[in-house]
Amino acid sequence: MKTIRVMIIDEQPFFRAGVRLALESQSDFKVLDADPSDDTLNSIDLFQPDIVLLGSDLANFSGLELGTRIARRYPNTKVIMLSPDPNDQELFKVIRSSAVACLKKTVPPEELISNIRSASRGEYPINDNEVSRPIIVRQVLNNFQDMETLSRNVEEAVAPLTNREREILGHIADGNSNKQIARILNISEQTIKNHVSAIMRKLNANDRAHAVVLAIRRGLIKIEENHKRPEY
């Protein structure tokens, strides 16, 4: 069984102790505790954690800024942000920071453990509830849609999306289910499922939410103010 090395970085000692207690019950976890007053990047260099659990409310240094530095400098270390109560603006910043998830500090231990395991497998456990919140998606898409250099720097390994696939991905970004998209486009739900499978394969995405985030970062989809919402 592969050992997952998890580093906890938070300014609250009692919180770190509580998380450590929950994680040490898992036989495949090795828990590393880091004091944010220390040289965090040096600690990561030394211990090479697979996952960093990072508090977003660090007193001496922005957790989001630190998360961005970790994600860029250590691509094999996945960052999960822990926030007292993440709002839309913070979730938007988390998506931009390249963290793989943002969880409330009050998250149940089993959910935290599940997210850690997903991230260690290379998955992107920002769930549909976060990515499909319209305010977040609109902020991210508006931020990137006019960045022509981003569009020119799309990874060559990614197969191009068809116009229909881009359209469907835009509706996914608006929070629509396959059934709702089928109703909007007046085509069968199975056809939508086929398109979604093709989209995920081309983007090398783990799930619908991951596909949206990858498309946002690569400049593949743009926000459309006139998307029609399904009628009930």
Number of domains in the chain: 2
- Please name every residue paired with 30 in a beta bridge, in sequence order, or none if there are none: 5
In percent, the amount of the chain with pLDDT more than 70 equals 72
The answer to whether residue 140 sits within a structural domain is yes
**Global confidence as pTM:** 0.58
| Shared domain check, 31 and 120 | yes
Tell me the pLDDT of the chain averaged across its residues. Answer: 76
The answer to whether residue 225 sits within a structural domain is no
Question: Tens of pLDDT along 161-178?
Answer: 888 888 898 888 888 889
Could you tell me if 137 and 169 are in contact, meaning their C-beta atoms sit under 8 angstroms apart? no
| Shared domain check, 89 and 196 | no
Closest to 93 in 3D by CA, of 133, 136, 125, 49: 136
The answer to whether residue 228 sits within a structural domain is no
* pLDDT given for residue 92 in this prediction: 67
| Shared domain check, 119 and 35 | yes
* pLDDT given for residue 74 in this prediction: 83
| Shared domain check, 108 and 66 | yes
| Shared domain check, 121 and 48 | yes
Range of the domain at 56: 4-125
Q: Specify the 3-state DSSP secondary structure of 17.
A: helix
Last residue of a domain, one of 125, 149, 171: 125
Element (H, E) at 55: strand 51-55
